[in-house]
């Protein structure tokens, strides 16, 4: 068995005396693990770092085996990420999110967005929108996204402004009035009609994604939310 693909390194761990097992999110083969022989040598020190994009050649005797990677550098970002606490936290958070995807299940759109955030130096509101949208896409591709097709109470397709935290269905501003204390704001970036400031927009978006990530992913899998997420969001919102 053999294939060649590009991948974003999202995790590494030592194996034996000089090998490394890397976890990469690849374009055509999804989240995939493989052994890199000699991966702890100086030759690979700068290459096998989370946040780097590499060319991978995977070989194994059988398809369900771990297999071995040969690795060539494409985009070595790790050193630059170390220069900024926020950029490093962003990369770590992206990698943690990608690691919840099923192994060997391709998600090319998520990978494209992950690479774009790594390469784009945008900050503040644009970065907040990109990251929140990435988290919502993650939920959507795992089958847990919100439903903004129509109002859960009236069936209307316009003027959607709030989300039920229980069902994930949208509600119009008018229909939501008796239940406002129980609903969550639906930001414009997710199809909402509320007129929010940039800061409120980003905060509302992250509140939504955090709620549904917790409900559908972190709690059922007995995972703690990524430790860097809250600090990064606070830093992004402070700049708004």
CB 130 within 8 A of CB 119: no
**pLDDT tens digits along 187-234:** 999 999 999 999 999 999 999 999 999 999 999 999 999 999 999 999
Percentage of the chain lying above the pLDDT 90 cut: 95
Spatial distance between the Cα atoms of 92 and 62, rounded to a whole number of angstroms = 32
At residue 123, the pLDDT reads 86
What is the 8-class DSSP label of residue 175? Answer: H
What is the 8-class DSSP label of residue 216? Answer: I
- As given in the structure block, the two tokens for residue 221 are 């899998």
Percentage of the chain lying above the pLDDT 70 cut: 100
Looking at the domain 2-121, which fold is it?
A: OB fold (Dihydrolipoamide Acetyltransferase, E2P) (2.40.50)
- As given in the structure block, the two tokens for residue 15 are 């194996």
Instruction: State pTM to two decimals.
Output: 0.95
At residue 239, the pLDDT reads 86
- As given in the structure block, the two tokens for residue 46 are 């700068």
At residue 145, the pLDDT reads 94
- Residue (of 139, 152, 239, 114) closest to 190 by Cα position: 139
Place of tokens 């809250």: 230
**pLDDT tens digits along 31-78:** 999 999 999 999 999 999 999 999 999 999 999 899 999 999 999 999
At residue 122, the pLDDT reads 81
**pLDDT tens digits along 71-120:** 999 999 999 999 999 999 999 999 999 999 999 999 999 999 999 999 99
Q: Is the per-residue pLDDT at 240 higher than 90?
A: no
At residue 33, the pLDDT reads 97
**pLDDT tens digits along 138-151:** 999 999 999 999 99
**Average pLDDT over the chain, rounded to an integer:** 96
At residue 170, the pLDDT reads 98
Give domain limits for the chain: 2-121, 126-238
């Amino acid at each position: 068995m053999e294939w060649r693909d590009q991948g974003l390194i999202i995790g590494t761990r030592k194996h034996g005396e000089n090998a490394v097992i890397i976890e990469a999110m690849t374009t055509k083969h999804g989240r995939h693990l493989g052994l890199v022989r000699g991966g702890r040598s100086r030759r690979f020190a700068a290459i096998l770092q989370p946040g780097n994009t590499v060319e991978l050649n995977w070989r194994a005797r059988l398809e369900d085996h771990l297999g071995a990677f040969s690795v060539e550098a494409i985009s070595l970002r790790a050193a630059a990420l170390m220069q900024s606490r926020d950029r490093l936290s962003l990369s770590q958070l992206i990698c943690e999110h990608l690691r919840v995807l099923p192994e060997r299940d391709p998600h090319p759109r998520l990978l494209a967005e992950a690479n774009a955030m790594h390469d784009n130096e945008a900050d503040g509101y644009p970065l907040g929108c990109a990251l929140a949208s990435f988290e919502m896409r993650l939920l959507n591709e795992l089958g847990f996204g919100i439903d903004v097709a129509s109002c859960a109470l009236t069936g209307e397709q316009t003027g959607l402004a709030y989300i039920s935290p229980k069902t994930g269905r949208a509600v119009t501003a008018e229909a939501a009035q008796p239940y406002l204390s129980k609903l969550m704001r639906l930001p414009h970036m997710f199809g909402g009609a509320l007129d929010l400031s940039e800061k409120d927009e980003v905060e509302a978006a992250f509140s939504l994604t955090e709620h549904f990530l917790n409900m559908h992913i972190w709690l059922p899998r007995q995972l703690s939310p990524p430790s860097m997420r809250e600090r990064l969001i606070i830093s992004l919102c402070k700049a708004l």
